[in-house]
């Protein structure tokens, strides 16, 4: 985990700081204390990359980890941050890859999120520069800035280190799109659980939850939903209080909250935490609603750490800039670009049928005003969706993850795609290990039901990175 001592002192001089300065839950995980670094660095970013007249800038936060960097020509791994505050570089499997390839790791906070907000107020008007297109240009500009800064520190010019881009979930999509739009700036990309397909009515999401749950757990969840809908009409406030969600005045917000609680168990590799007590309660003739409420309070709100206000439209309407702003920000991206409306399928649904298209459209209108509508067709035309015409992009997905149906699951020579298959293989398993939350240091796969399935895909990733980096370096000779 350490470089040779003869190089260590040089890193003190090489710190590149020139200034002092998701469901609703797509990918908002933090790594607790498991960070490679939390040392904040800053640089000035262009606000609007598409205007030749607007030259405003804002301070954007980033991080660097140099412990494994092989000077001076080692690769640079760009780890993309997404739809939440980026508080450091988490210690997942990228740290293992960095050590193996002698790479520096850098990570840029997504515009508007965390401490990288261009504005002090998040009005709908001020959010007009929040988009994946602007974020991709942010990454390109940052990549050039960092390379030039490194060259200056090494007293050289016109030298390019080989770069490789990584991302999970929405950042996984950004990773794929970065290679698509800026192939000259990276040797390749790993797009883990990459949601590259914008989906208007995402019924496959709920259907995958049913498959991942298995027949017994699925039936229990469906019964819970039926009982909840009945109780909601009789004494809604008492029911919401049972789930510690009395603040959710809109019934459909409450029903979305309950649906997401189940989703998270499968999405992040903890299916038995949900299914075992539910199946047991059903066998014992116990109250299924009480059993589900215990799961929601102990796991979803407890150990996983979700706040009920994430589902409260009054909270989403708040334009104040604070630690909870990511809820409003991600919904803006949902309501303008990608949708991912997790509506109930017409048949055999697990979630309530009240979580429908109209609910989502009304939410977008209520939170952001008239005229806000997800341009799903425009997004897929611009990037290609699952027909993305890229090269040297690795796509990976976990077998139990509902988001994989918005990813590229067909493989080709130029864009290999792998499914990591196991009982608790969810969102970003190839980089996070099992479970995916809480994070296992270095993405340890020992707690996956099939560690070998993870190791096999990881070896494929290593082989592709090795090949594509060597091809990059050969071009620079």
Query: In degrees rounded to 5, what are phi and psi of residue 32?
Result: 60, -130
HSE, CB side, 13 Å, CA atoms: give it for residue 210.
15
Contact 393, 372 (CB under 8 A): no
| Residue 79, SS3 per DSSP | strand
Which residues contact residue 223 at a Cβ distance below 8 angstroms, ignoring those fewer than 6 apart? 282, 288
Q: How far apart are CA 344 and CA 335, in angstroms?
A: 18
Q: Are 49 and 101 in contact (CB under 8 A)?
A: no
Residue from 90, 107, 169, 407 carrying the catalytic annotation = 169
169 is catalytic: yes
Task: Please name the residues in contact with 387: beta carbons below 8 A apart, sequence gap of 6 or more.
Answer: none
Rounded CA separation 244/226 (Å)? 19
Collect all residues with Cβ–Cβ distance below 8 Å to 233 and sequence separation of at least 6: none
Q: Rounded to 10 degrees, what is the CA torsion of 385, 403, 346, 283?
A: 170
Which one is catalytic: 206, 253, 327, 401? 401
Rounded to whole angstroms, the Cα distance separating 109 from 194 reads 18
Distance of CA 169 to the CA centre of its chain: 4
User: Is residue 143 helix, strand or coil?
Assistant: helix
Active-site choice (23, 399, 427, 440) = 427
- Which one, of 142, 181, 173, 216, lies nearest residue 385 by Cα? 173
d(CA 234, CA 291): 19
- Concerning whether 349 is annotated as a catalytic residue, the answer is no
Cis, bond preceding 438 (omega within 30 deg of 0): yes
Q: Which two tokens stand for residue 285?
A: 């003739």
**Which structure tokens are listed for 137?**
């240009």
Q: What is the CA radius of gyration of the chain?
A: 22
Active site residue 325: no
Which parts of 180-243 are beta strand (E)? 189-192, 199-201
Tokens 């917000």 found at: 253
- C-alpha distances (whole Å) from 114 to each of 29, 31, 99, 307 are 13, 15, 28, 17
Q: Which amino acids are annotated catalytic? A: 169, 401, 427
């Amino acid at each position: 985990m350490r470089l040779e001592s003869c190089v260590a002192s040089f890193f003190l001089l090489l710190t590149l700081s020139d200034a002092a300065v998701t469901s609703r839950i797509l990918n908002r995980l933090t790594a607790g204390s498991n960070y490679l670094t939390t040392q904040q660095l800053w640089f000035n970013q262009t606000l609007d990359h598409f205007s030749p007249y607007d030259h405003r800038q804002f301070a954007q936060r980033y991080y660097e980890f140099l412990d494994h960097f092989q000077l001076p020509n080692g690769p640079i791994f760009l780890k993309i941050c997404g739809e939440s505050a980026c508080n450091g570089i988490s210690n997942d499997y990228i740290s293992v890859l960095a050590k193996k390839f002698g790479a520096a790791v850098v990570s840029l906070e997504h515009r508007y999120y965390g401490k990288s907000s261009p504005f002090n107020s998040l009005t709908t008007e001020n959010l007009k520069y929040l988009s994946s297109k602007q974020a991709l240009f942010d990454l390109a500009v940052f990549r050039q800035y960092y390379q030039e800064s490194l060259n200056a520190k090494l007293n050289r010019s016109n030298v390019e280190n080989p770069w490789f881009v990584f991302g999970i979930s929405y950042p996984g999509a950004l990773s794929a799109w970065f290679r698509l739009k800026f192939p000259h700036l990276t040797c390749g990309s790993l797009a883990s659980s990459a949601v590259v397909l914008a989906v208007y009515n995402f019924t496959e999401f709920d259907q995958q939850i049913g498959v991942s749950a298995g027949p017994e757990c699925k039936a229990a969840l469906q019964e819970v939903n039926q009982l909840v809908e009945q109780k909601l009409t009789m004494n809604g406030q008492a029911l919401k209080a049972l789930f510690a969600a009395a603040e959710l005045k809109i019934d459909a917000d409450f029903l979305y909250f309950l649906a997401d609680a189940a989703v998270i168990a499968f999405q992040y590799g903890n299916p038995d935490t949900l299914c075992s007590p539910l199946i047991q309660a059903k066998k014992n003739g116990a109250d299924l609603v009480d059993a589900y409420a215990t799961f929601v309070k102990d796991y979803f709100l407890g150990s996983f750490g979700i706040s009920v206000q994430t589902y409260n439209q009054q909270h989403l309407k708040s334009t104040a800039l604070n630690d909870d702003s990511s809820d409003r920000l991600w919904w803006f991206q949902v309501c303008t670009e990608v949708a991912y409306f997790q509506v109930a399928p017409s048949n055999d649904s697990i979630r309530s049928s009240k979580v429908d298209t109209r609910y989502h459209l009304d939410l977008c209108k209520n939170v952001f005003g008239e005229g806000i509508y997800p341009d799903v067709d425009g997004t897929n035309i611009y990037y290609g969706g699952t027909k993305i015409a890229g090269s040297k992009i690795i796509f990976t997905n976990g077998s139990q993850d509902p988001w994989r149906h918005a990813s590229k699951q067909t493989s080709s020579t130029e864009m290999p795609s792998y499914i990591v298959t196991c009982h608790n293989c969810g969102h970003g398993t190839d980089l996070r290990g099992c479970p995916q939350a809480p994070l296992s240091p270095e993405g340890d796969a020992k707690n996956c039901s099939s560690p070998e399935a993870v190791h096999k895909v990881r070896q494929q990733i290593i082989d592709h990175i090795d090949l594509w980096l060597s091809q990059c370096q050969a071009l620079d000779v």
